[in-house]
Chain A
Amino acid sequence: MDHVLDARGLPPPEPMERTLDALAALPPDDRLVLRLPRQPFPLFDLLRRMGYLWEVSGTEGDYRILIRLADTPPAGA
């Protein structure tokens, strides 16, 4: 199941705070879709160290970052 977190319009570091809160509550097989106006490079570093994988789509102003645990099957699998 995908959970959407729209963090557009939030000042830093609220998008990162809310993302980390959402990930802590995310069931192991579910995925988080994060919507942001910019690519969150500092978050990517944390995700990598926490054992998550992510895919980025969209363009400047409206990026979608699909986040899942490294052992969660990708979409459609």
Chain B
Amino acid sequence: MVNTAGLRLDQAPPIHLPLRLLLTAPWFAVAAAVLLMVSGDQILVSRWTPAALAVTHLITVGFLGQAICGALLQMLPVIAGAPVPGVHWVGAVVHVALTAGAPLLAAGFLGGGPWLLGLGAGCATLGFAVFLAAAATALTRAQGAPATVGALRMAAFSLAPTVLIGAGLASVLVGWTALPGFPAWVDLHLAWGLFGWVGLLILGVAYQVVPMFHVTPGYPAALTRWLAPALLVALVIASLGTLSGLEPVVWLAEGAIALGFGAFALVTLDLHRRRSRARRDANLLHWWSALGAAIAAACAWGVGAPDALIGVLLLVGVGIGLPSGMLFKIVPFLCWFHLQQRQVSAGRFEVRVPHMHGFLPERPSRWQWGLQLAALTTLSGACFDPRLATAGGALLALATLLLAGLLLTAAWRYRQTSRALERSSPLDSHLGSQPGST
């Protein structure tokens, strides 16, 4: 998201807007992990148990929602060249609404009663609706790389049915209305959220960041042009088939979705194999394990594996793993970029701004990836042997706690340098000592 013609860094919002969402997100993954640790044996039995629904929404609304919205508030102006309208209050509302919505939803599912569930659903709906309205406005004006902008538009489009159906399902659960074919609507909510909103977003972001950050060749033009639209069409067909009860149609469309995301993961791994830089940092390792989890989930669907296993692979493997890796890039980059800009604006070159990799220690970041992978493996095993659930949840709790701690470390280093920039001597006393001050 830097250093390329067409990227507009000058349009990026102030650092506190994305950072407050990005630093809050990991704590919801910690909460989900603790719940898995405490009652994982029930959660991994069926996706319909209250605890499973609570964990799912802590991950999707609390962790993924905050991480994605925070990252997009920063990336949309940069990648798409279109500022998010009202970014200050949009960021504030989304942060408060999702921070309140995720735990209220979880508490509602865990027996807190219809009011908590309704309130949580209302907050989550408000947060996502405000974000969607702002992001959609930015995306209609977007002028960035067509493949990325196209996939981001389709992802944003997919968020609308996810939120609408979710709000409808919540209103049924709190007893405000009735909805025939309730389980089918749950399937649609899940499919549009995971494969539309999150899946298409991953595609659009990967088209830009994989070649740039991992120094690989570009994605094949045919893939960037056709894959996202084909997946969206498959999603529409699967939805119509689900509502009509046409099982063969649903099976074929789901197969196309599994094949499409599996192919994307394989192509990305092949691009990584051909990367020109051998370095394997925590970001790249997270990409590999998340892509592996996506391929495993596609295979698991193909062989009719339990829903719980597919859920673990998608939610923990991809849904927590990939954003964790991305946060290891995004947060240090934001810290470095904003300090660099402030330093040049103030002309205070006597203060050393750390390089981007200086904001996060590399070795603990790799440990974090190792813990995340161990948690994914153990929780996958727990789908077959529930005795592993507690250990898997504990490993995930450690991984996500370390993630939260590492991101706070980066923010602390940002604050240290920021204070040093504020404290340092006025520009005039250093004239002639640095090139930029002449």
Contacts and interface: CB of A to CB of B under 8 A. Distances in A.
Interface of A: 9-17, 20, 23-24, 26, 28, 38-43, 45-46, 49-52, 69-71
Interface in B3-29: 3-5, 7, 9-10
Contact of A51 (B1, B212, B355, B436): B436
A11 B435 contact: no
Interface stretch (B230-238, B305-313, B336-344, B394-402): B336-344
Interface string B200-229: 000000000000111100000000000000
B429 interface: no
B438 to A, nearest CB: 5
B2 A42 contact: yes
Contact of A12 (B2, B5, B341): B2
Nearest to A25: B435
A19 to B, nearest CB: 10
Contacts of A51: 435-438
Given A11-B213, A42-B7, A50-B344, A16 B435 contact: no
B3 A13 contact: yes
Contact of B434 (A10, A24, A42, A71): A24
B9 A42 contact: yes
Contacts of A70: 438
22 contacts: A9-B276, A11-B212, A11-B214, A11-B215, A12-B2, A13-B336, A13-B337, A15-B3, A17-B336, A17-B356, A20-B340, A24-B434, A26-B435, A39-B5, A40-B3, A43-B3, A45-B9, A46-B340, A51-B438, A52-B436, A69-B435, A70-B438
A45 B10 contact: yes
A35 B339 CA distance: 25
Given A24-B434, A51-B438, A12 B277 contact: no
B5 A52 contact: no
Interface in B355-390: 355-356
A12 B435 contact: no
List the 3 closest pairs (A to B, CB-CB), nearest first.
A50-B436, A12-B3, A12-B2
B349 interface: yes
Question: Residue among B2, B341, B434 with the most chain A CB within 10 A?
Answer: B2
B333 interface: yes
A16 B2 contact: yes
Given A13-B333, A43-B3, 5 more contacts: A9-B215, A12-B3, A13-B336, A13-B337, A14-B355
